Chains A and B, each alone.
Chain A
Amino acid sequence: EFKNQVFSVGFGYKF
C-alpha cells in the first residue's frame, strides 16, 4: 500500500 504524491508544473488559459 502507498500514497500518491505529485509535483506538477503547467500553464493555464482563461477564456
Chain B
Amino acid sequence: PIRFGIKAGVNLPNIIKDDGNNNFDTKLNPGFNAGITLDIGLIKGLAFTPELLYATKGYKAETSFGEFTQTTHFIDIPILATINLGGSGLNLVVGPQVSFLTSTKNKFDNGFGTVEQQFDEDSDKFKKSLLGGLIGFRYDINDKVDLHGRYALDFQKN
C-alpha cells in the first residue's frame, strides 16, 4: 500500500570545511524542515520512502569583527529505504538525497548593528544542486505517528 504523510522537525546544521580553510570555528545555525512523505511498502519490513522537504541549513561563525550567520534554504528530496528492525516500532532509514539551493542569506552582527545580504538562486556563488546522503532512525509510536532523528551529509561542496 501507498500512504501519504507530512513531517516537520528541527534542523541543527553546520558545515565541514575544506582542509586549509580551518582558521575559524563554526557553530550550529538552528532551523527547521517540513514537507510531505510517501511510504510505499515493498516487502514485509522494507519500504521505499521518498520525501519532498523544505529545509534551512547553514552555520554561524565568530570572527574578530562580530558574528557571521549564513542561512541557506533548500528543497531536499531524500530517496530513502526504511528497514524495520525486528518487528518493533524501530526502523533504520537510509538513502541518498538531492538538495536544491533556493536562496542564501548572510547576516553580519558586530554588536552595534546588523548587515544582511540575500542571494536568490545565484549560481555563480553557490552550487544549486547537491548530492548527499542520510542515515537515521524512525520510531513508530503508532500506525500514524512517528518520531525520528537523522544525520545528513552532502557529498558535494557548496
Contacts and interface: CB of A to CB of B under 8 A. Distances in A.
Nearest to A14: B5
Contact of A8 (B18, B149, B153, B157): B149
Nearest to A15: B4
Interface in A1-15: 1-15
Determine the main DSSP class of A at the interface with B: strand
A4 B146 CA distance: 26
B29 to A, nearest CB: 10
A8 to B, nearest CB: 5
Nearest to A12: B7
Contacts of B150: 6-9
Contacts of B17: 1-2
B12 interface: yes
A1 B18 CA distance: 6
Interface residues of B, number: 46
A3 B132 CA distance: 9
Contact of A10 (B3, B8, B14): B8
A10 to B, nearest CB: 2
B143 interface: yes
A11 B16 CA distance: 26
A14 to B, nearest CB: 4
Contact of B147 (A4, A5, A9, A14): A9
B128 interface: no
Given A2-B16, A4-B15, A12 B5 contact: yes
Contact of A2 (B10, B37, B132, B157): B157
Query: Nearest 4 A-B pairs (CB), nearest first?
Result: A10-B9, A14-B5, A12-B7, A2-B15
Interface of A: 1-15
